[in-house]
Every structure is written in structure tokens, then in C-alpha cells.
């Protein structure tokens, strides 16, 4: 399945590369066609096709004459498409909350107000233009086998201590996002740095263990499942959970000190050709009655304030202008340099 996706992604990616019409790099593209289409909904998304296609099917069940074109791209390519190239999409879905916020702040998103968006808690939307429909914690994915005989860490300090004390066991076997490439990785790292200084010690320790850097969650999880990695730090728990069934060796750990919770957000770009239809799609994603359905179809935890109250360690990333800070050119350069200094040691 993973391999198949990877191959498909690679092929479509290559096709995209070869197509001059797209200056941004799309990974996959699929047309969910219908007989006698009355309208077409163009979606650009960072969510993998296999995660999202059941959702598109469900939407088409409700709107049988709507044709859906679903294009996946990395969060930075999505940003490039909308911010620089004014690519025409009706819906943009991304896990990079900071970039989505910038799109809204800089006036690239349409306003949308409905009863459904009104049902969202205030922290799950911003300026009636950006709407969250999932809340996904960043977790540690690890292999039980690799931790055998060791006490299970419950917070970052314990993990750091464990890594320090067992360099042989973990050398070359820890992975995390390459924050230069992955928008979600950069977002998680910056939020970590806001929460605690442990990020830098973590980076230091991981760098000493020759950590491997990844662009995407799926590859990282795959490598843990394969046994190539002992652990992957700051992985989207929702992706990892889907692999747990097939890989009994895999496990997920939510840190007790704090767990960053990312909100997957959706917006209507100003280039939308059918903003009304896009509004319907957003209503479909955020409406209170569909939340359970979305969780069932995609495996992505949907917006639920009760969970955030129950889990004391959960720190949802706040939508708002604060997210623009880490997009500052100087700030980003400084942050990445500091991170690389710690992570990539000579």
C-alpha cells in the first residue's frame, strides 16, 4: 500500500514536473469524475489522496453532480501555488497553519460565514476565512523492540536522558522532520521552542546520534515500522495510528509535559472559480454532525473541545498573527541555522 502510494506519487510528481502549466510541484492529482457534472471543485491539499478520497466520495454522495479535482502538494508548494502563482483552486487544505494564516492575513482567502462555521469553537477559526477541521497531536512513534528493557519515557526530559544514556542503541536510528523541507516539521519545531527549551537539548542529542531527517510523516513511520528507526520524533499521530494495526511492533507516545496539537485548516483562495461550492465543501468539513463521519473516514481526529480539556498536556497551536512570527525571513533563517547547528554535527 505504502509502496504503491509512493510509486503513484512519484509518477504523478514526475508528470507534474514535466507539465509546464504547473510551476508549483504537485505530488498527485486525481479527478473524481461524475456523470453529467454540474460543477467542478478544485482542491489543493497537503493530505494524501488515500486519506482524503473517502471524504471526497462522501461529499459527492451528498452532491452527486459535483466533479472533484484533488491535487496534493507539500505545504510549501501549496503556498507557492497560491501566494506566488495565483493558481486557481476553490479549496486549499493544509496542515501548515502558519502558511495558511499568512494566506489569510495577506488577503488571499475569501470570507465564508454559515451556520456550520458558526458551530466551530472560536479557537478553530480565524477571521471567518480559515477553518480547522481536525486536531492532530504531534507524537513520538517508536518501536517496542528498540525500547525493550528500557523504562518508557513519559516526557521529553526522560527521552533525552534515555537517548543520552544509550547512544549505541539509538545511533542512526532516530528520525525527525527536516524542518527546511517540511512545513509541518518547521511548525512543530517552532512551537516546541515556544513551549520549552528542551527542543534545543533534544536537537543536540539527536544530532549527536546522527539523526535522520525526513520530508514527510509517511516515510518516517514506514522506517520505524521496518525497524530502520527506533523512534520518530514529532510525527503526526493521526498518520501513525493508521499503521499500528499492521505493525504490532509500532507504538505511539504522547508526551506528558506537552503535546503540540496541530489544526488542519481549510480556506477558500481568492482565485476560487466557484466560491459557493467551496463554501458548501467547508460546511461539509466543519459541520458538527459530520465530525464523527470525518474521523471515521479519514482516521484524522476531528475538532473536539472535550478532548483538549481532558488531555491536560495538549497545546493546540493558536490561530492568529502569532503564527506569522516564524515566517519572518530573518527569524526563519536564524531558527533553521540554530536547529541545523544542533542537529547536523560534524
Partner 1 sequence: MTTVHARGSLRRRLLLQLLLVAAILSVALYFTVRALAQQAAETTQDNILIASATAISEAARAERGQILVDVPYSALSMLGSIAEERVFYRVTADDLTVTGYDDLPMPPAASEVGAAVFATSIYKSDEVRVAALPRRLTVGDETVILTVLVAQTRLGLAAVSLQISIAAAAAGVGFFLLSGALSWFATNNAMRPLNRLAQSVERRGPQDLSPVETSAPTELVPLLQSLNTFMARLSASLARTEDFIAEAAHHVRTPLATVRTQSEIAMRSVRKPENKQILREVIRAADESSRSAGQLLDHAMVALRSDNLEKEKLNMKDLAQDVIRSISPTADLKDIRITCSGSDTTSSVEGDPILLQNALRNLLDNAVKYSPEDSRIRVEISEDTSTVQVDVLDEGRGLGNGDRQRLTQRFGRGDNVKDIIGSGLGLTIVDEVVRAHGGTLALTDNPEGRGTCASITLPSA
Q: Supply the minimum distance, in Å, between the C-beta of residue 83 and partner 1.
A: 13
Q: DSSP letter at 84? A: I
Residue 79: its H or E element: helix 75-79
| Of 68-76, 155-163, 217-225, 322-330: span binding partner 1 (CB under 8 A) | 322-330
User: Is 337 among the residues that bind partner 1 (CB under 8 A)?
Assistant: no
Rg (CA), the chain: 20
Nearer to partner 1, 6 or 200 (CB): 200
User: Is 165 among the residues that bind partner 1 (CB under 8 A)?
Assistant: no
The phi, psi pair for 251, rounded to 5°, reads -145, 160
Among 46, 72, 105, 287, binds partner 1 (CB under 8 A): 105
Among 107, 149, 151, 346, binds partner 1 (CB under 8 A): 107
Among 20, 149, 310, 329, binds partner 1 (CB under 8 A): 329
Binding mask 108-137 for partner 1 (x = CB under 8 A): ------------------xxx---------
Q: Supply the minimum distance, in Å, between the C-beta of residue 106 and partner 1.
A: 6
Residue carrying C-alpha cell 451556520: 115
SS3 234: strand
DSSP for 280-339, written as a single string: HHHHHHH-GGGHHHHHHHH-PPBP-HHHHHH-TTEEEPPPSGGGGGGGSHHHHHHHHHHH
Among 156, 147, 137, smallest CA distance to 241 is for 137
User: Is 288 among the residues that bind partner 1 (CB under 8 A)?
Assistant: no
User: Is 322 among the residues that bind partner 1 (CB under 8 A)?
Assistant: yes
Q: Supply the minimum distance, in Å, between the C-beta of residue 202 and partner 1.
A: 19
Nearer to partner 1, 62 or 127 (CB): 127
Q: Cα separation of 103 and 9, whole Å?
A: 26
With a CB cutoff of 8 Å and minimum separation 6, the contacts of 176 are 185, 206, 211, 213, 214, 220, 232, 233, 234
With a CB cutoff of 8 Å and minimum separation 6, the contacts of 61 are none
Q: Cα separation of 215 and 183, whole Å?
A: 9
User: Is 334 among the residues that bind partner 1 (CB under 8 A)?
Assistant: yes
Binding mask 193-232 for partner 1 (x = CB under 8 A): -x--------------------------------------
Q: Which residues bind partner 1 (CB under 8 A)?
A: 104-107, 126-128, 194, 318, 320-322, 324-326, 328-331, 334
Amino acid at each position: 500500500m505504502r509502496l504503491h502510494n509512493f510509486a503513484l506519487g512519484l509518477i504523478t510528481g514526475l508528470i507534474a514536473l514535466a507539465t509546464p502549466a504547473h510551476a508549483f510541484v504537485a505530488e498527485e492529482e486525481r479527478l473524481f469524475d461524475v456523470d453529467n457534472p454540474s460543477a467542478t471543485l478544485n482542491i489543493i491539499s497537503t493530505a494524501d489522496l488515500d486519506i482524503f478520497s473517502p471524504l471526497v466520495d462522501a461529499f459527492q454522495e451528498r452532491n452527486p453532480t459535483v466533479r472533484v479535482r484533488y491535487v496534493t502538494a507539500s505545504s510549501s508548494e501549496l503556498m507557492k501555488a497560491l501566494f506566488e502563482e495565483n493558481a486557481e483552486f476553490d479549496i486549499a487544505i493544509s496542515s501548515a497553519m502558519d502558511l495558511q494564516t499568512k494566506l489569510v492575513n495577506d488577503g488571499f482567502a475569501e470570507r465564508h460565514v454559515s451556520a456550520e462555521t458558526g458551530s466551530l469553537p472560536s479557537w478553530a477559526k480565524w477571521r471567518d476565512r480559515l477553518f480547522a477541521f481536525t486536531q492532530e497531536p504531534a507524537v513520538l512513534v517508536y518501536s517496542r523492540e528498540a525500547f525493550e528493557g528500557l523504562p518508557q519515557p513519559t516526557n521529553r526530559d526522560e527521552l533525552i536522558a534515555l537517548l543520552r544514556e544509550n547512544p549505541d542503541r539509538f545511533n542512526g536510528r532516530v528520525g525527525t522532520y527536516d524542518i527546511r523541507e517540511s512545513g509541518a516539521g518547521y511548525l512543530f519545531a517552532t512551537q516546541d521552542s515556544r513551549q520549552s527549551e528542551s527542543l534545543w537539548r533534544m536537537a543536540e542529542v539527536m544530532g549527536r546520534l546522527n539523526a535522520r531527517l525526513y520530508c514527510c510523516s509517511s516515510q518516517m513511520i514506514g522506517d520505524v515500522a521496518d525497524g530502520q528507526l527506533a523512534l520518530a520524533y514529532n510525527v503526526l499521530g493521526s498518520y501513525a495510528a493508521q499503521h499500528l494495526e499492521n505493525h504490532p511492533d509500532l507504538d505511539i507516545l504522547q508526551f506528558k509535559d506537552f503535546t503540540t496539537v496541530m489544526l488542519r485548516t481549510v480556506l477558500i483562495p481568492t482565485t476560487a472559480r466557484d466560491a459557493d461550492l467551496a463554501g458548501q465543501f467547508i460546511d461539509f468539513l466543519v459541520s458538527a454532525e459530520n465530525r464523527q463521519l470525518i474521523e471515521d473516514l479519514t482516521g484524522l481526529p476531528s475538532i473536539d473541545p472535550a478532548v483538549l480539556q481532558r488531555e491536560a498536556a495538549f497545546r493546540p497551536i493558536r490561530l492568529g498573527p502569532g503564527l506569522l512570527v516564524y515566517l519572518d525571513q530573518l527569524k526563519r533563517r536564524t531558527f533553521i541555522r540554530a536547529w541545523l547547528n544542533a542537529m547536523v554535527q560534524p
